[in-house]
Every structure is written in C-alpha cells, then in structure tokens.
Structure 1
Amino acid sequence: MKKVFMSLFRREVHSSLGALLLRYQPFQIDPSLARVGSDILGFFLTCTLILQGSQNSLRDFVCLIHAYAVGRDMEEALHCVRKMKEEGIEMSIVTYNIIVGGFAKVGNADAADKWFKEAKERLPSLNAVIYGSIIYAHCQACKMGCAEALVREMEEEGIDVPIDIYHTMMDGYTMIGNEEKCLIVFERLKIGKVSKALEISRVMKSVGIKHNMKTYSMLFNGFLKLKDWANAFSVFEDITKDGLKPDLILYNNIVTAFCGMGNMDRAICIVKQMQRERHRATTRTFLPIILGFARAGETRRALEIFDTMRRSGCIPTVHTYNALILGLVEKCQMEKAVRILDEMKLAGVIPNRHTYTTLMQGYASLGDTDKAFHYFTLLKNDGLEIDIYTYEALLKACCKSGRMQSALAVTKQMSANKIPRNTFVYNILIDGWARRGDVWEAADLMQQMKKEGIQPDIHTYTSFINACCKAGDMQNATQIIEEMEARGIKPNLKTYTTLIHGWARAAFPDKALKCFEEMKVAGLKPDRAVYHCLMTSLLSRATDARSHIYSGLLSICREMIESEITVDMGTAVHWARCLYKIERTGGELTEALQKTFPPDWTSHNILAVDCEIETADSEIVDSEYDIVYYSSESDNDESTHAEDYDNDVI
C-alpha cells in the first residue's frame, strides 16, 4: 500500500513541478508572483527529494536554484548550491549565470563578482549571457570602470557584445550623470566624442532594432554637449520620421539647442508646440530662453518670458532669477541686476551662493572692489558656503583696481579656509602684478606655482610676458616664449599681441613688425585688436618715415582695408595726429590709412579738436590694450571654466 501511495504522490509532484516550470519561465514571471513561485517550487521539489531519497540530477537543482533566484531568495539559492556540491554535482555555466544574475538583480555586485570569478576559474570558457549579468550588476552599482573592463575583456576573448549590453552600459552612465560616456560603450574615449555612439546606432539599425526615445535622447544630448546643432537637429528629424513623440525632457533639450544657436524666436515656437501637445512647460523649459534674452541685452523680452512662465503656473525659483542676473551681469547692466535681486527677495526667494558670486563677478569686471566685498559680506552673513568661484571674483576685483595687497589678503583667507589655489587663481594674481609692471612679484608667483605642482598654461605665460613688457624687459619676455615652446605650449593671438605692444613700447618697431609676421606664419589670423594695437603702437612712436617701417605700416593698412576693418572716431583722431608727424603734406600712407577711418571722418575737422581730446588720445596706446589674460571666452580652457560656473549658477 505504501509503495502505491509513494508512486502516485511522486507522479503528481513531478506533474505539478513540470507545469510550474513551464508557468514560471525566466524573464517572464510577474515580480509580484516571483516569491510565491519560488516557494511553491521549493516546496514541491523539496518534498520530491525527501520522499524519493534517490540521486538528484543537475537539472533538478538548476530548476530549484532558478526558482529561488527569480524569487530573489539568494540565501536559499546558495543553500541549494551547497547541497548540490555535497552530492558531487559540478556547477555548469547555466548555474553560475543564474547565481550571478540573481545577485545582480538584488543589487549585490560584490557577491555577483565573487561567483563570476569562480566561474572563470572553474569553467573552460564563458559566454555573453554571464558577461551580460555581471556587467548589469556593476552598472547597477555605478561601478562603470569594472563594467568597461569587462566589455574590453569580452572583445579580447572574441565574444560578440550583444545589443542589450549597450543599453545596460548606457543606463549605468545615465545613473552616474555622465552623458558623454552614455555614448561610449567599448572603450574610454575623449569626452564629447560621439563617433562610437553613432557606430552603435548604425549597428542597431542594421540588425533591425529600432531606436527608442531613450537612445535618441542620448544621441541628441551628446551633440548638444558638443554644441553640434546641425547633428542634434538631424537626430530630432529622425525622431519625427520614426513616428515617435518627443517627451518633455527632449523638448526642453531642443529649446536649449535653439537658445544655444541664438534663435530665441524658434525656441519660443517649440514651447508653444509643447503646450499644443499637452506637455506642461516647466521652469527648466523657460530657463535657457530667459538667459538667452538677458545675455543678448534684451532685458524687456527676458522679463516678458519671465512673466509668461509665471502665467503658465511655473513658480520662479532661485535658478530662474540667477539666469536673469547672470545675463544682465554679462552685459555690465549692474543696476538692473541689483533690481532683480531686490525683486527676488520681495518674492520670498532666498538668494544662494551663485546669486551673490555672479554679482561679485560683475563688479569685479568693473574693478569696483567695494561692491564686490559688499556682496561677499552678505554671502557670509547668510551662512552660505564660500567656494573657489567666490574668491576668484574678489581677486579679480582687487587686481582690476590695482589693490594687490587686498588680493594677497584674500589668498591668505583662502589658505585659512583650506581652499587651494588653482591655475586660474594664479593667472588672476600674475595678471594683477603685470598691470603694475611688477615683474618680480609675477616671477615669484610663477615659482610658487611650480613648487606646488601647478603647471602654468598659455594664460599664465601670456600674463607674465605682459609683466615683462610693461617693465620693458623684452629679453626676459623672449626667454619666456622659448620656455613655452619647449614645453609644447604655442603662443596664441593674445601672446603675440602682448609681444607686439611690448616691442613697440620699447621703441623697436621693426621687431614689432617681425613679431606680427611670425604670428601669421604660425597660422594665426590677426583680429581687430591686433591691427589696432600694432598700428597705434607704431604710429604713436614713429617720428620719421623709415623705409621698412613705412612699408610695414602701408602693408598693415591694406590688410585692414581688405578685411573691411574700421576704427572709431577717437582712434582715427589719434592716428591722424601721429601720421601728421610722418607725412605732413599727405601721401600714400595717409590715403591708405584714412580708408580705415569711420565714414564721417571727412566732415571731422581734426585741427579744431580740443586739446583735451589730444590728451585723452595719447592714453589710447596703453589703456586700449590693457588685456585681461584670465577671462578670455575665446580660449578653450578658460571658456570651459566659465561654462562650469554657468552650469553651477543655472
């Protein structure tokens, strides 16, 4: 009787187990039923093992381990693994994959990595499935370095990387906020390079896998980061061709792209399109438009968008007000920026560190030290954290106004607060001493930089060369150029402009012209500032028409005419007075030079100009080219520094 009962029970258990295994297949199970499924399978299979009392197969254990892994009960899954080993059954690639995948799903990357390494030691080879599981584990734990190494390992082993791993890597980069590396899955590439992402995109299309909004958004963001507007909008066209509906995030990025191009009206049209499609615009939507108008000096339109935003039900945040203030500050409209700050406080929005730092930056550019320190005090009184940008603003203000002792006091305060000096800070200080022509203090700062392991950049060298030129030490300036080139740093347009000005001030017009020619040989195109500096310097110090100087001036005039460069009336008056010393009765140079003067020059009576203008004109040479070497937006590293600050503000 007992044998008959055991036979019937065993048959029913196996039948139920088979049905359950078919019911709960991998990746098809409902998460809410997973735990129940594992318990049922565990119960039936455990009963079977106990009642049978017979040798169990690898398949039996794999089914049970998988059931527990699906139910996220890894403790019981490992218990089954131990039981399996006790019975002398070796783990297969499938078993290892279930264990690694199970730990990946419960977020235990360390345990997943431990079992993956054991699989590598004990198995002759691994497949893409187990690699996919361990890569998923590391990506979910934000260990992207480990994930990248595993992808490279797959390539070295000749294992094809499936498209799912691409998505897993992109998800990982998204979680750590690294948009650039969302577009890089095979190897570490330079930030902003999207060629690999495009290659992946083509692979996806070639195998018939359509892009979804997620992958399109990643490509769009990559081009947005590069400011490659043409390719960004090409991606947008592909989205519409595929019949996909842009979501709010993509619409916001499209608005940002149009604002980056300066096409503010098109950005506003996109906002209206969003609203027609029932997308609710947020403060993030209006922010780049407000900033764009403010930066363009169109305060009225910026405030109109600000009001539109409020009418749309968006409550202005500190970031919205910061965008308005930043745009006004960049246009040196400090009074309007301060009024926005007052309105901000009346609206109950508390200014943050970036609000005050932006105002300090504005007053620093004007050399208004008192106002810069006023907002620094407010920042401290509000208990806000003081960062490197705050101190940089103070240093700029001090150096711009020539208060170098105050600047040194600021650096001491930085040291007391354990905020280290960076290249940018040193550049500000060196430029400050350069303005005063104090080459010794500038040289001392250069030595301090090197002792602290901070490498001088092109702006550091240019500022120091300016100090040498102001002091008339052209020999030292030439040596600095040689040191730069020895370190692989090539002089830029500002470096050459500084040298040209220095040679002209030192009464070496021939060397100034030679420097000008070297600049063109180096492949640098002279801009308005270079021509202005060279002509002003040479003319103001010319007392006779030496042949090589005369021909040089004539050549520069012709280049300016070809480039359609004209000067303002004040400069024209100054140049005409200087030219009168060379050609009293007129001549070829006079005729050429006057073509660079403003159109209303012919109606201007130069002899009737008041002597006060003459005095003011004589100062053009030194004041017009008092170049600030640390704040160029045309140079990559400095503009990157400015962009970092902008991102923090907004």
Structure 2
Amino acid sequence: METVDDNCELRSSDCFSEKHNFEGEENPRAVFNVLDALLKGSLDRLKAMRESISLAKLGLQKCILDAVQPDYTFMVRDLCLKGKLGAALLLRRKLIREGFVVDLLTHNYLLNGLCINCDMEIAESLFREMLEMGPSPNCATYNIIIKGFCLCRNMDKALDLFYTMANGGIRPSRITYNILLHALCKRGLLDDAWKLLEDILDDDIKTTDDAITSTILMDGCFKSGDMMQAIALWDEMVEKKTKVDAVAYNVLIHGLCLNRDKKIALGYIVDMLKRGFLPDIFTYNTLISDLCKEGQFGEAYYIHDVMSRMGVSPDQISYKMIIQGLCISGDVIKANEFLHSMLEKSMVPEPHIWNLIIDCYGRYGDLSNAISIRDQMLATGVLPNLFTFNALIHAQIKGGNIFNAYSLKKDMVLLGLFPDVVTYNLLISGAYKCGQIHFALQLYDEMLRKGYEPDKITYTELIRGHCMCGEMKEAEDLFLKLHESGLPMDIVPFKVIFDKYRRIGEPDMAFKFYQRWMTMMA
C-alpha cells in the first residue's frame, strides 16, 4: 500500500511541474502517462482494499462462529433449566440442519432435562441417536440416563444400560454405582443392592470405603428394618476411618428414630457435636417428627426452641409437623399459636397447614374460628383448595348447616375447583343427619350423573340413612350392591344394619342378616 501511494504522489507532482504544458503540443504523451499512472494507482489501491476487506470478513466470520457456537450450549442449558425442553430440542435440530456441531455437553443438558421430567421415550431416542450419529456418550451421559430410568421406576432398563456400558468401552464410575445402589435401596431391593456391591468389588473399585455408598446402604438397611446391619455399616465406617459427614449422621439418626430407638439417636447427636458437626434442619426435623408421633409435644417444643437458639431457623416442615401433631391430638389452640408464630416471622404457611387447623376447628364444631382461619388464609394471599372447602363443609355440617355446606360446594365451582367423592360423602352424610332424606338422595343422583364412582363410605352413609328412615330392605339392597361392587368392605355397614334390627326389636331379622353376611364373606 505504501509503494502505491508513493508512486502516485510522485506522478501527481510531475503533473504540476513547469515542464508539462497542457495547452501546448510539444509533450502530448506526458498527459496520458500521468493519467494512466493515476488510474493504475487507484485500481491497485481498490484491489488492495478489497482484498483487505475480504480477509477481514473471513476473520470476522470465524470469530463469530467461535464466539456464538458455545453460546448455544448456554441457551440449551437455560431452556432445559426453565423446563422448555421442546424449544431446546428444536434449537438442537436447527443447529444440526445448519451445519453446526452440537457438542456432548449440550446433549447431556438435554438428556438431563428430559430425564428429570421422566420423558424417557424422547430421552432414549436421543441417546440412541448419539450412539449412532454422535457425539459418543461418555460416563456422565450414561449416569444421566440411568438415573432417569431409576427415577421413573424402570430398574430393568437402568440395569441393562449399566451392564452394556462396557460394550461401548466406558467404565462405570463410583457415581454410577451410587445411583443404582440408591435406587435399589429406595425400592427395598436390598439383596440386589448387595449383589451390585459384589460387582463393584469384582471390578476393584474401592467404593466400600466411600462414605456416600455406605450411607446409601445404611439408609436401605434402616428402611427395610435391618437395624443391626445398618449399625454394623456405621461401625465399619468408623473403624476404617471413613470420612463421614453431617448427611451420614442424619441418615443414622433418622433410621434410629424410624426404629423407635430415640435414646441411641440422641447419643449419636452428642457424638455428632463432639466431632464438630452441627445439627442442621434435617436433624432437628427428624427429632421433632419422632416426638410428635409419640405425642411428646413438650419435648418437640423444646427442640423447636433449641434449633432457633442454635441459629437454625425452623422451616415449613418443622411447623407443619408440630401443627399436624397438635391437630391430631385435638390441641387446636396451641396449633393456632404456632400458625401465628409463622406469620410473625413473615413465613406464609402452605395451604396444608391452614387446612389442618380449619379441619380441627370443624371437627370440634367451632365454625366461627374455622371461618376466621379461612379469612386469614385469604388475607395472606393463599388460595383455598379442594381440601380447604371439604374442611369448611365438614365444619358447616357439624354445625347442622347442610344448606350452607351445599352453598360452599357451589363456591368451589365458581373458583374453578371441582368437588370429589369426599365432598359428596360429607354432604350426603350431613343431609341424612339433618333429616333431609330426599336431599341426600338428590346428592347421590347428582354424584352419579357427574361420573363419580361411589366408594365404601358413600354406600355406608346411604345404608345409615335408609336405616334411620326405617327402610331396611333398601339398606340391605345397598349392602348387597356394595358387596358386588368389589370395593374393600369393613364391618361398619354390617354393624349399622345389624344394630338397627336389634334396636327395633327384630332379633330374627338380625340373625338372618348375620347368616347372609357370613355366606358373603365365605
């Protein structure tokens, strides 16, 4: 470029020199020489510029290709994390169609998203495509799809993939074994888990020294009721100086609580503290759950206070377990106090917690407090669900307000909620108790028209209603219908009819009905 410019500059100066006279005839060729030189210089410069631009364009394209292509991995990952798997798969297909090479990492993100959603047909199809066309799956790919099949309870496929990994020249990792061990233990297939452990030993992988593997097996032993084997695994970890963590302690404490060995569990909490591990939310919730199940609410409150002082804030589960235990035991006032404690800490209770308290007030016939809790629930922005309405219907029926209860059913529909069999059972039972026999039968007909299948409670309430009206033949016909329906039967409907015959002074009819029942049960 510099040579061309210099050359042009020289010729231009020549053009304006005194030797060149444009109007004279003595040097006509000089003019053309100068013009030719200028034109040639311009063309050379244009050619050089064009070549420079082409090279820059090629370089820019390469930079864009290098910069943009990796971004697609992040786009696919982002789509997968947001659950937009259809869009992620379409993006992959478009990239392949336009000549981009979609890397293994991108495929692994896609597979992981599909497996989390249990879209195993699409995941398996994508996996087969990878085997046939690339990129070739690695150990992480196999781990993802094996875990997917485990999550979807298809252990046969998961184990089949595990045993075919070697055919693809891929050695299973410790993570692969742990995924399968966890799935087998979770399903109570402890014998298969131990067999898999033998395969690990045969493959000379030192997984038995791994805290995760031992913790998984210990959890499986506890859940299958083999406490001795679980403790033996823990002792083996301690003996081998395996590096345990808070998770291993939590599994041990939870397992001991499951087997009603709280004293030993508390001993291991002390040991946990001695080793420098602080109990976390899971540890405290395990203890609270066990204490509430045993009705030891004083101790549960104490643990609840201790965890707050230790800097571990109680979560929704902590409160739910205490409130649920209190509602089961009938202490709805204390349960309400814990509900207000949550609200004071700016915790918005989930619908289940509200429903527990509404139901408890309803069971004790305290309609005003049940409605008050529902109003507080709405004020905090929590929408009532089907269980909320069923609890309120139950409360209204307890108060003898069958038509108010029926109005609540209408309110459900306006909110886009639909009654279930429980709703109809509550209303039918309430109608009979209020002497509204015709209304109860209307509800039963409405239930059948809307496609709901009566359950044993429906039949029991209808039998009870007919007995209250002295319609013993209709009651026995329904009893027979219940038997023929194939629904599991208990002794309650039999006792309703048998006791009614006794009360009206018909011992012979009671005995005949007893004989028919024995024949049915034979």
Task: Name the amino acid aligned to 1:229.
Answer: G
Query: 1:360-439, aligned counterparts within 5 Å?
Result: 360-439=323-402
1:229: how far off? 0.4
Contact residue 114 and residue 120 of structure 2 kept, 8 A: no
Give the SS at the match of 2:413. helix
Q: Which residue of 2 aligns with 1:204?
A: 165
* Alignment CA distance shift 1:157-1:462 (3 Å): same
Equivalent of 2:239 in 276, 279, 284: 276
Q: Which residue of 2 aligns with 1:228?
A: 187
Greater CA radius of gyration, 1 or 2? 2
1:464: how far off? 3.1
Contact residue 358 and residue 391 of structure 2 kept, 8 A: yes
Contact residue 139 and residue 172 of structure 1 kept, 8 A: yes
Give the Cα separation in 1 of the matches to 2:281 and 2:77. 39
Q: Which residue of 1 aligns with 2:296?
A: 333
* Alignment CA distance shift 1:523-1:199 (3 Å): farther
Query: 1:33-182, aligned counterparts within 5 Å?
Result: 80=59, 82=61, 102-103=70-71, 119-122=95-98, 130=102, 132=104, 134-136=106-108, 138=110, 160=132, 165=137, 182=147
* Alignment CA distance shift 1:302-1:505 (3 Å): farther
Contact residue 328 and residue 336 of structure 1 kept, 8 A: yes
Q: Which residue of 2 aligns with 1:183?
A: 148
Unaligned runs of 5+ in 2: 1-50, 80-87
TM-score under structure 1 length normalisation? 0.58
Q: Which residue of 2 aligns with 1:237?
A: 195
CA RMSD of aligned residues (A): 4.7
Contact residue 76 and residue 110 of structure 2 kept, 8 A: no
Deviation string, structure 1 residues 72-111 (Cα, Å, up to 9, x no partner): xxxx9x96472699xxxxxxxxxx9x98874467778689
Q: Which residue of 2 aligns with 1:218?
A: 179
Q: Which residue of 1 aligns with 2:417?
A: 454
Which of structures 1 and 2 has the larger relative contact order (alpha carbons within 8 angstroms, sep 6+)?
1
1:443: how far off? 1.7
Contact residue 329 and residue 337 of structure 1 kept, 8 A: yes
Query: 1:229-378, aligned counterparts within 5 Å?
Result: 229-230=188-189, 233-243=191-201, 244=205, 245-246=207-208, 247-291=210-254, 293-294=256-257, 299-344=262-307, 349-378=312-341
Give the SS at the match of 2:454. coil
Equivalent of 2:488 in 525, 537, 541: 525
1:421: how far off? 1.3
* Alignment CA distance shift 1:216-1:547 (3 Å): farther
1:163: how far off? 9.4
Give the SS at the match of 1:229. coil
Give the Cα separation in 1 of the matches to 2:102 and 2:481. 61
* Alignment CA distance shift 1:533-1:327 (3 Å): farther
Give the Cα separation in 1 of the matches to 2:90 and 2:260. 60
Query: 1:489-508, aligned counterparts within 5 Å?
Result: 489-508=452-471
Q: Which residue of 2 aligns with 1:550?
A: 511
1:234: how far off? 1.0
* Alignment CA distance shift 1:217-1:458 (3 Å): farther
1:448: how far off? 1.8
1:213: how far off? 2.8
1:302: how far off? 4.2
* Alignment CA distance shift 1:325-1:139 (3 Å): same
1:442 aligns with 2:400: no
1:238: how far off? 0.9
Contact residue 357 and residue 376 of structure 1 kept, 8 A: no
Unaligned runs of 5+ in 1: 1-52, 62-75, 86-95, 174-180, 563-650
Give the Cα separation in 1 of the matches to 2:443 and 2:260. 40
Identity of aligned residues (%): 20
Give the Cα separation in 1 of the matches to 2:199 and 2:375. 60
* Alignment CA distance shift 1:551-1:110 (3 Å): closer
Deviation string, structure 1 residues 154-197 (Cα, Å, up to 9, x no partner): 58989837795486567678xxxxxxx93249xxxx95455543
Give the SS at the match of 1:279. coil
Contact residue 501 and residue 510 of structure 2 kept, 8 A: no
Query: 1:509-524, aligned counterparts within 5 Å?
Result: 509-524=472-487
